[in-house]
């Protein structure tokens, strides 16, 4: 099939454009489409009226304006939205589906660094790397008495609990397979566990796992899924890893558990985000806090952008999207 070159518009924040539009990506888009020169940050800006009226494809990223009915009215020829990032919840509305516009996302590519971060956090948690580094910084670590510091540390036959068999959760399970770990997975939509894991009830997982890693979407049903009761189920010395959404965890309850010294945590997301500067989670010795950097950053952004450009190429060839998003997917995904 001979490729066509659809009229296309970039829609994202200036900061996103600077990060995502690597020269090689921009060159690909210019070769695949008739790309409008301006980056749209407001669909109602009169300066973009002509370009939007011609647009058959939107190439979006973080900061894309909301695609509601009034915005879509200005794009009567729009047939596809290609999102060069993860979730589309911020800009895709029901009006998009009602107009039969195809949507795709680079979420699979963005899942790669999140899963890598998670595996690193799981293995580091087992070795108590953060706590050991702080002890070594403050005073010499007494190797002859190491067992007294952390009697349960190590990664041999420890149990890791994966909450949510999302694309990230599944990739984490896959990446953990070479290690001598027992992996549990809890997900209400699963009927069979992915290879390398076994199904568990969420409470069983919380009460059993030495490390619990969250990969569920933020939905009304998942808000504070790790509340005071479920956090109390976790064994003494267990670690909670959250690279998903801060609202999955009751921050006050988690802070109390961590302040007591009973649990450990690796938190890439929090609720609120960011935390206030004087929040105790910023200073507790058993907390590793990072500023929502598990997803694509630095040179990882190029992978994500090229994945989105691959989707544009499929569209020009009349091929189905590989990362297509359907409205029913958003009921149980990020």
User: Which residue among 48, 171, 245, 264 is the active-site one?
Assistant: 245
- Asked if 245 is an active-site residue, the reply is yes
User: Which residue among 74, 279, 292, 306 is the active-site one?
Assistant: 292
CB 81 within 8 A of CB 58: yes
- Asked if 56 is an active-site residue, the reply is no
Neighbouring CB atoms inside 10 A of 184's CB total 23
The Cα 304–Cα 84 span in angstroms is 6
User: Which residue among 89, 252, 273, 322 is the active-site one?
Assistant: 273
Neighbouring CB atoms inside 10 A of 77's CB total 12
The Cα 303–Cα 204 span in angstroms is 37
Neighbouring CB atoms inside 10 A of 94's CB total 11
**Is 327 strand, coil or helix?**
helix
Token look-up 């509305």 returns 93
The Cα 308–Cα 169 span in angstroms is 21
Closest CA to 288 of 272, 270, 276: 270
- Asked if 137 is an active-site residue, the reply is no
Active-site annotation, residues: 245, 273, 292
């Amino acid at each position: 099939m001979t490729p066509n070159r659809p009229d296309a518009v970039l829609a994202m924040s200036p900061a996103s454009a600077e990060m995502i539009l690597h020269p090689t990506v921009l060159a690909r888009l210019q070769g695949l489409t008739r790309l409008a020169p301006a980056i749209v940050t407001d669909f109602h800006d009169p300066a973009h009226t002509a370009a939007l009226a011609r647009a058959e494809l939107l190439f979006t990223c973080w900061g894309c304006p909301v695609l509601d009915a009034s915005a879509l009215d200005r794009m009567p020829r729009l047939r596809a939205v290609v999102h060069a990032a993860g979730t589309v919840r911020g800009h895709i509305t029901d009006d998009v589906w009602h107009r039969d516009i195809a949507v795709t996302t680079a979420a699979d590519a963005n899942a790669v660094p999140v899963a890598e971060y998670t595996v690193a956090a799981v293995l580091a948690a087992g070795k108590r790397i953060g706590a050991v580094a702080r002890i070594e910084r403050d005073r010499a670590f007494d190797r002859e008495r190491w067992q007294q510091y952390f009697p349960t540390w190590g990664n041999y036959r420890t149990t890791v609990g994966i909450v949510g068999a999302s694309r990230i959760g599944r990739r984490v399970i896959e990446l953990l397979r070479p290690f001598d770990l027992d992996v549990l997975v809890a997900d209400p939509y699963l009927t069979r566990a992915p290879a390398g894991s076994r199904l568990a009830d969420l409470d069983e997982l919380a009460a059993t796992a030495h490390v619990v890693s969250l990969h569920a979407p933020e939905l009304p049903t998942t808000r504070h899924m790790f509340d005071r009761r479920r956090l109390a189920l976790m064994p003494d010395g267990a670690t909670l890893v959250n690279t998903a959404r801060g609202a999955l965890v009751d921050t006050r309850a988690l802070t109390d558990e961590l302040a007591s010294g009973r649990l450990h945590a690796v938190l890439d997301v929090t609720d609120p985000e960011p935390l206030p500067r004087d929040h105790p989670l910023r200073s507790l010795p058993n907390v590793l806090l990072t500023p929502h950097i598990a997803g694509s950053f630095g040179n990882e952004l190029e992978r994500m952008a090229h994945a989105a450009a691959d989707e544009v190429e499929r569209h020009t060839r009349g091929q189905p999207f590989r990362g297509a998003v359907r409205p029913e997917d958003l009921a149980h995904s990020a």
